[in-house]
Amino acid sequence: MERRAINPWSWQDSFGFVQANEITGAQRVLYCSGQTSVDENGTPVHEGDMASQTVQALDNLEAVLKDAGMDLSNIVRLRIYTTDIDATMASYGVVAPRFAPIKAAQTLIGVSRLFVPQLMIEIEATAVA
């Protein structure tokens, strides 16, 4: 698989994402459901803590990727749904190192709520190998 970042500008570099990823030679595509801050039984964890919920959602996303024989570096597209964009941006410093290997095309979307009211963030990904 070959990946070429398409970035007509450089402002996105400080946020760790790319404007687009061109993929050639991929053999597998994995479309991941949105991952949230739940434990192995689906019970919400870290109520009211955006940074911890984001870390848990990323842990869950990594578990899905690992089960498919992939890791965060295989992600080419992320959609992040949050009930509080300001809190998400404020917690970015804590979670930025986790996002560093991704270099995906990303969209951050503010929503009124997620499927369980205690959840504040949901991360959906597309990965290729």
Per-residue model confidence as pLDDT tens digits over 36-90: 999 999 999 999 999 999 999 999 999 999 999 999 999 999 999 999 999 999 9
2 located within any domain: no
Q: How confident is the model at residue 15 (pLDDT cuts 50, 70, 90)?
A: confident
- pTM of this prediction? 0.89
Q: In this structure, what CATH number is given to the domain that contains residue 35?
A: 3.30.1330.40
From first CA to last CA, the distance across the chain in angstroms is 6
Residue 12, in any domain of the structure: no
Q: Is residue 58 part of a domain?
A: yes
> Residue 11 domain-assigned?
no
Q: Which residues contact 97 (CB under 8 A, 6 or more apart)?
A: none
Residues 72, 112: Cα–Cα separation, whole Å:
28
- Has residue 67 been placed in a domain? yes
Report if residue 50 sits inside a domain: yes
In the sheet with 121-128, reading across from the earlier edge strand, the strands are 29-35, 121-128, 75-82, 105-110
Q: At what angle do helices 92-99 and 50-67 cross, to 10 degrees?
A: 10
More confident residue, 50 or 96: 50
The per-residue pLDDT for range 17-32, each reduced to its tens digit, is 899 989 999 899 999 9
- Does pLDDT of 103 surpass 90? no
Residue range of the domain that includes 116: 27-128
33: tokens are 């459901």
Judged against a pLDDT cut of 90, whether residue 14 lies above it is answered with: no
Query: Does a structural domain hold residue 85?
Result: yes
- Report d(CA 35, CA 57) in Å as an integer: 5
How high does pLDDT run on average in the chain? 94
- Residue 57's identity, in one-letter code, is A
Total count of domains within the chain: 1
- Three-class DSSP category at 120: coil
In the block, tokens 């687009």 appear at: 20
